[in-house]
Amino acid sequence: MTTDQAQRHCERVTKQSGSNFVHSFSFLSPDRREAMYAVYAFCQEVDHAVDHPKPGVDIQEKLDTWRAQVIAMYSGTPTFPVAIGLAKHAKNFDIPREYFEELISGVEMDLTIRRYATFTDLYQYCYRVASVVGLISIKVFGTQSPRANEYAVNLGIAFQLSNILRDIGVDAKRDRIYLPQEDLIRFGYPERDMFANANTPAFQKLMAFQARRAHKYYAKAQAALPPEDRKALLVAEIMRGVYFRILSQIEKDPARVFQERVRVPSPLKAAIAVQTWIRIMIQQMVASTAPKTSHIGEENDAR
């Protein structure tokens, strides 16, 4: 398969995924957009290897094969279409191999872990499956400040915590509970109630606590956003707006997570994207016209 064919395959896989991220990629330059298609195709296929395995396929063996493909990407010999498409972008944008390996390790956790005793335990999972994607993405986006890493890590945690709340009902049907056991105990909400989709006062308090935790990480990400990287992080900021809206909808009616997968309608996603673009462009213009602080007087005083 040629590199061009592999790239088209990555684009198809990404667009078919229905990911909230796809539409925001239109704000990227063509080379960065192609790279993000390849990154998200990789995420999609690795995730599907665990959540939607083909009959008769050994999941652990499949993940080990993906690890081998990652190594091959950096040695110039990948054979999987997505790995072929991703290889040139990993090189061009200087993405560390360890990021892709860490992501596979995160997805692999779902093979053996169905409960998390503490938030500290859950944090490692969130970091691997979400923050690492953010760290990969900012390499593609071309951020300049070292603080962009802090932004990516915290935003990734916030996204994954929002995902966990959104998917409580779906995950329970798979016998997976990502909310820390210590929190269920703290608020008096036993697992049997979750499996029964019980919307009790304890559930409401538990969900409010989880939402506050997610808000904390959204705030941490915003505090770390480097002013000089606002434009580079436009796509990430669009997604922050979308996921923040998902979290807000869940807060208004937590029981919805038992009935449906809370989504943001496409027209609203488009509105969030445009509003975010306008806000960042205005911030850029204001920053560029602000008078530079002079230290000449201070230097003279020092003399």
Pairs from 25-28 (Cβ < 8 Å, separation ≥ 24): 25/235, 27/234, 27/235, 27/238, 27/273, 27/277, 28/141, 28/235
Contacts of 45 (CB under 8 A, 6+ apart): 13, 66, 80, 82
The confidence score (pLDDT) of residue 121 equals: 97
Please say if the pLDDT value at position 300 is more than 70.
no
| pLDDT tens string 4-37 | 999 999 999 998 877 767 888 989 999 999 999 9
Q: What is the pTM of this model?
A: 0.91
**113-285 architecture in CATH?**
Orthogonal Bundle (1.10)
Rounded Cα–Cα distance for residues 39 and 224 (Å): 24
Residue spans of the domains in the chain: they are: 1-94, 113-285
Please name which of 232, 246, 272, 45 lies closest in space to residue 134, comparing C-alpha atoms: 232
